Amino acid sequence: MEAKKASGRMDTRTRASGGRLEEHDIKFDPAFESEYAEMMARAVKESRGERKRRLLEEHGIAEKILAYVWWQAVGSLKHLHPEYEIMDLRGTTRYADYAYLPSPVFGLLLEADGFGPHWREISRWKFDDNEERQNLLLIDEWKLLRFSFDGLKDKTVRCKQTILMALARWGRPIGGEKVELNVYERAILHYATTSDAEKLTPKLVSHELKISLKTTISFMSSLSEKKLLTPIISLTGRKMAYLLPTRRLSTSKRGI
């Protein structure tokens, strides 16, 4: 399974019978397969009870694709724990598809949500409990990223960018190493994610953040190199403005 550069879709091949996506329909990188197998074997060996049952019976293709997208973005599965068991603030045991725990003071939960009978036919009680579950986890200071199964398959580039932007914003380690963002880069990225501007020019950012144009140009370029901003290139090859990777200019406003 590899992301196609043009469309950001995974190389998936659904079977003719039923069109259901199965694990053997997807081409995974061999290096990922090896690391994923080691992670799962270790988790099964260390778990018991309900967590072990979930690992053996419920941890399926959606969760594996989520791990693969994470692996492509971050470079490894280090510090990733599948079917992680959590006790919420009301004393209820909860499970997350994955927990990323690079340090004792930082925890990120990752989940893949499918749009199938389970969600379409969910009871009112279960729907309410799911909302409360998320609220309690966030109150308890867990970070949380949720991805749809379709998004993981068809918009892998966007999902990887979301992961990297989240880790950069929260300033936490990736595989034991911190994302290197200085105070100017963090300020620019914060402005980019909160501004209504469709495209960000160095002049605009310099004015809004009250920093020199030279400094702004330098650090917007460095954010581009770190894949956190996407440059808009003129016909002469100059970087005229920038976008967040998840944003796109409307065709009526390109003008460059």
Contact 99, 112 (CB under 8 A): no
Q: Give the chain's domains with CATH numbers.
A: 23-177 (no CATH), 181-253 (1.10.10.10)
Q: Mind listing the pLDDT tens digit of every residue in the chain (256 residues)?
A: 333 333 455 665 443 333 444 555 678 899 999 999 999 999 999 999 999 999 999 999 999 999 999 999 988 999 999 999 988 888 888 999 999 988 766 889 999 987 554 556 677 777 787 788 889 888 888 999 999 999 998 999 999 999 988 988 886 555 545 556 787 888 888 888 777 787 899 999 999 988 899 999 999 999 888 878 888 888 888 888 998 765 544 433 333 3
CB atoms inside a 10 Å sphere around CB 15: 11
Phi-psi region of 177 (alpha: psi -120 to 50; beta: other; left: phi over 0): beta
